[in-house]
Amino acid sequence: MIDLLIRAGTVVDGTGAAPFQADVAVSEGRVAAIERRIDADAAEVIDATGRHVTPGFVDVHTHYDGQATWDPIMAPSAWHGVTTAVMGNCGVGFAPADPSRHGWLIELMEGVEDIPGAALSEGITWQWETFPEYLDELERLGRTIDVAAQVPHGAVRAYVMGDRGATTGPATETELAEMARIVAEGTEAGAVAFSTNRLPLHTSLSGVPVPGTFADHRELAAMMDELSGRSLVEVVPAGSMGEDPDAPIREVELFRRLSEEAGRAITFTMVQVHANPDQWRRQMELVEQANAAGAKLVPQVQGRPGGLLAGWDQFNPFAKRSAYRRHDHLPLEERLVELRRPEVRTEILAEDIPGDPAMGILRHSLHATFPFDGGPVFEPDPSQSVAAMADRTDEDRLGLLYDLMCERGMLQVFFTGYRHGDLEDLREMMVHPMSVVGLADGGAHCRVISDASLPTFMLEHWVRDRRRGPKLSVAEAVKMLTSEPAELYGFDDRGVLDTGKRADINVIDLEGLRLDLPEMVGDLPTGARRLLQTASGYDATICAGEVTFRNGQTTGARPGTLIRN
């Protein structure tokens, strides 16, 4: 008898091959057979008639480093068909951890990734100091999904160098040797990569840069030389938010040199910044040239435009203005009464704070800022943007934004990937043979986005509903969500549906797939709040042969474990 039989589904196997009708048999956590018709007894049968059967999705860019130590559910990513998540991105994480610097690491994570510090302080178990001990702790808790961890440069540098780690000063030879030893120890114990962050705008709550932001070639090369197994490097480059127009090109040249010297793959964030919307094309040309010469560079691109939800309790561009701060302590409904008063509105709009980064991002993105009108906004017409609405009525743009925040609540701000008024540049990035789709940021940016729903977005929008340009085939989209990210990280046992592979599987009602509007929910430790986006259309999600979710509800099964390098 087999454990599970998925009958009569449309199999999209993750290789990019055309879908086909078949039964899928599962035994002992593995795919036992995929055949046109399987006549066998099974402990459980799932009728997949009219459904698509795909591999479980592999999300290589998440920030569950703290949440994974206390939460077996792993929402919201697990709600969207993800069965494997890679943590420790952007050079931030919680190991190694000097016991005296727990609060410092939490403040860094809260500042960079907008994860409530109170929730992290309450929830993290801290049953470790070294990175191998952290991996052991991750292995103790069963989950609905598998997780893999990367050694974060920020934590390593802070552990070895203390406060000096976040400065522009170089490491001493002794410090460099110790950091390299820790990276070697971590990857030998099972870390799948080393991650670093070179974006100056990523800082702690107190404005301290991520340790490693200004590391030189010598330091990065020393880390890469000590990687073991198939470990790679993940990087957030300088210039990723348009703060330095020339940095993205310089960064690709640095990555080429490092990759060629160490013989290691480097995956790095590549986005369309609105201040220089065609620069990504030059970056991609340089990647092609580097890889032709022997490097291994993998741009990590977005499957949806980079965005924020603007609102009084989300991304609030007026938050630093003293005229606003006088009302910020009030509950939202009471605050709105005050904010709608003409004299308060006038005072807030009249105030300006030179160099305010939030307002800077917004001013460059009003052409790509849209109110929600009855549902999620996927690829809106630019004529419906705040900038276009204001220009038609000769209103002040920020004044209109202020009024919309008062009357309609949240607005969606696209700050990357939407400069030309559609998603066509993103589609070109996604289908490029050298890129991988990622950057969903599951577990992070809790107050301003909920992009962990990326897999659902891709199937609903790119495959089924897109009207303003070419679609993706379901085979293309599933490959981007499964075998391509799995191959990048060397996860050879998953990412495709094939005999002998791990039975991580989704059964999806593609026609019924729907993303809901994000909601602010207080479900983190201490009741801390985060934006969550649910979906309908996932009949079943299966991890290691066990059904973990049925129709979006957890079954109680916890087969997920730690993937070691």
Confidence of residue 387 (pLDDT cuts 50, 70, 90): very high
- CB count in 10 Å sphere of residue 245: 12
Contacts of 71 (CB under 8 A, 6+ apart): 64, 123, 143
* Cα–Cα distance, 455 to 340 (Å, whole number): 38
Q: How far apart are CA 184 and CA 77, in angstroms?
A: 30
**What is the residue whose two structure tokens read 């990504």?**
280
For 304, the token pair is: 């949806």
The percent of residues above 90 in pLDDT, for the chain, comes to 92
Residue 45 has pLDDT above 90, yes or no: yes
pLDDT of residue 357: 76
pLDDT in tens, 330-372: 999 999 999 999 999 999 999 988 888 778 778 888 999 999 8
Of the candidates 421, 507, 441, 150, the one whose C-alpha atom is nearest the C-alpha of residue 303 is 441
pLDDT at 334: 97
Give the C-alpha separation, 351 to 321, whole Å: 7
pLDDT digits (tens, 9 = 90+) for 548-558: 999 999 999 99
Q: Which CATH class is domain 2-55+502-553?
A: mainly beta
- pLDDT tens, residue by residue, 275-303: 899 999 999 999 999 999 999 999 999 99
Predicted confidence (pLDDT) per residue in 94-128, tens digit = 999 999 999 999 999 999 999 999 999 999 999 99
561 burial (CB, 10 Å; 0-12 / 13-18 / 19+) is middle
Cα(256)–Cα(265) distance, rounded to whole angstroms?
10
- To the nearest 5 percent, what fractions of the chain are helix, strand and coil? 35, 20, 40
Of the candidates 221, 281, 220, which has an alpha carbon nearest to the alpha carbon of residue 249? Answer: 281
Alpha helix positions (H), 127-215: 131-140, 153-161, 173-189
Q: Express each pLDDT in 140-192 by its tens digit.
A: 999 999 999 999 999 999 999 999 999 988 999 999 999 999 999 999 999 99
How far apart, in whole angstroms, are the C-alpha atoms of residue 141 and residue 64?
13
Query: Top-level CATH class of 58-305+428-488?
Result: alpha beta
What is the CA 162 to chain-centroid distance, rounded?
A: 28
pLDDT at 147: 98
Q: Where are the domains of the chain?
A: 2-55+502-553, 58-305+428-488, 309-416
